[in-house]
């Protein structure tokens, strides 16, 4: 469970990115966070694995206070939390397999990590992760030779290889075309349902948010201004979250779902 209790984040330059956020995310939920650029979506997601420190209130992940975590506890927390990014963050000059295996580093000894030695069991976990996102046949291809959608799937597989309890995704489909964006969202949804991994995804397209979010959190100026289901999040709700009328830019696609 993830619990935000009156959480605020003020960056060192004085920008208040989160302002009194109260949220409880139960295990296994698929949550989509929406809001305009600058609303605080990335900050919210990055507090969960301690990438951005909370400066006010309390954030608990599985009952542990993230702010109180020492280095070892923070490492432990991060091993339970997979993360994917808009830009995939792969090492593109090496193979898909090597990228996915880096998801196993959390559970390897320092020496093995340093030398990049992996056990057979790690490889099995990596293959299983690649199978779940449907690209096991690319295991020994260089990551640079894959399309954007395939690279994002490798990033998901790397996160899965960590065997996490929570998966965070910061604008995972912002660089992808609509059919590919849908395919990647379906992978995330399937993994959530099959493995029960709590998933928190930032999106700025309202159609994708409605289609995939079991729960939608609307952010504006660092505050939660909407918390409800996809069905409840109609155009009027999105207009109130965005503080303006909707435009074509707010929708990922107009064509049929791939």
Which CB atom, from 38 or from 57, has the smaller least distance to ligand ATP?
Answer: 38
Look at the alpha carbons of 213, 253, 182, 91 in this order and tell me if their dihedral is positive or negative. negative
Which CB atom, from 51 or from 105, has the smaller least distance to ligand ATP?
Answer: 51
Per-residue binding letters, 41-80, with ligand ATP (x by CB under 6 A): xxx-------------------------------------
Return the residue of 2, 4, 7, 17 that touches ligand ATP, per CB under 6 A.
17
Partnered with residue 3 across adjacent β-strands are 24, 60
Q: What share of the chain is helix, strand, coil (3-state, %, to 5)?
A: 40, 25, 35
- Which residue in 122, 149, 124, 154 sits closest to 138, CA to CA? 154
15 binds ligand ATP (CB under 6 A): yes
Which CB atom, from 42 or from 165, has the smaller least distance to ligand ATP?
Answer: 42
64-65 sheet: strands from edge to edge: 16-25, 2-10, 56-61, 64-65
| Segment interacting with ligand ATP, rule: CB under 6 A, options 39-47, 118-126, 130-138, 159-167 | 39-47
CA 236 to chain CA centroid, Å, is 26
| Segment interacting with ligand ATP, rule: CB under 6 A, options 33-41, 123-131, 229-237, 248-256 | 33-41
Return the residue of 2, 23, 39, 206 that touches ligand ATP, per CB under 6 A.
39
Return the residue of 20, 38, 57, 148 that touches ligand ATP, per CB under 6 A.
38
Return the residues of window 198-257 that contact ligand ATP according to CB under 6 A.
Answer: none
Query: Is the separation of the CB atoms in 151 and 87 below 8 Å?
Result: no
Which CB atom, from 15 or from 240, has the smaller least distance to ligand ATP?
Answer: 15
Which CB atom, from 39 or from 201, has the smaller least distance to ligand ATP?
Answer: 39
Which CB atom, from 17 or from 129, has the smaller least distance to ligand ATP?
Answer: 17
Return the residue of 19, 21, 31, 40 that touches ligand ATP, per CB under 6 A.
40
Task: Tell me the two tokens of residue 186.
Answer: 């379906």
Q: Across the chain, where does the E strand assignment appear?
A: 2-10, 16-25, 30-34, 56-61, 64-65, 81-85, 166-170, 198-202, 215-220, 223-228
Which CB atom, from 43 or from 180, has the smaller least distance to ligand ATP?
Answer: 43
d(CA 17, CA 11): 7
List residues binding ligand ATP (CB under 6 A).
11, 13, 15, 17, 35, 37-43
């Amino acid at each position: 469970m993830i619990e935000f209790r009156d959480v605020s984040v003020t960056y060192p330059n004085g920008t208040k990115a989160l302002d009194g956020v109260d949220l409880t995310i139960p295990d296994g939920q698929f949550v989509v966070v929406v809001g305009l650029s600058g609303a605080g979506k990335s900050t919210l997601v990055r507090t969960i694995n301690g990438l951005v420190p909370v400066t006010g209130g309390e954030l608990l992940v599985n009952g542990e206070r993230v702010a109180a975590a020492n280095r070892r506890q923070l490492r432990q927390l991060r091993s339970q939390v997979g993360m994917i990014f808009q830009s995939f963050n792969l090492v593109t000059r090496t193979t898909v397999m090597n990228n996915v295996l880096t998801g196993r580093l959390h559970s390897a000894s320092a020496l093995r990590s340093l030398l990049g030695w992996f056990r057979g069991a790690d490889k099995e976990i990596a293959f299983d992760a690649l199978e779940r996102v449907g690209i096991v046949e690319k295991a020994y291809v260089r990551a640079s030779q894959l399309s954007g959608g395939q690279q994002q799937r490798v990033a998901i597989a790397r996160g899965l290889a960590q065997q996490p309890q929570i998966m965070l995704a910061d604008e995972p489909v912002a660089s992808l075309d609509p059919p590919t964006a849908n395919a990647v969202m379906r992978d995330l949804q399937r993994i959530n349902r099959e493995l029960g991994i709590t998933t928190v995804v930032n999106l700025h397209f309202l159609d994708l948010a409605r289609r995939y979010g079991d729960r939608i959190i609307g952010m504006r100026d660092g505050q939660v201004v909407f918390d409800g289901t996809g069905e409840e999040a109609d155009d009027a709700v999105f207009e109130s979250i965005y503080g303006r009328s909707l435009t074509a830019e707010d929708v990922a696609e107009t064509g049929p779902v791939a």
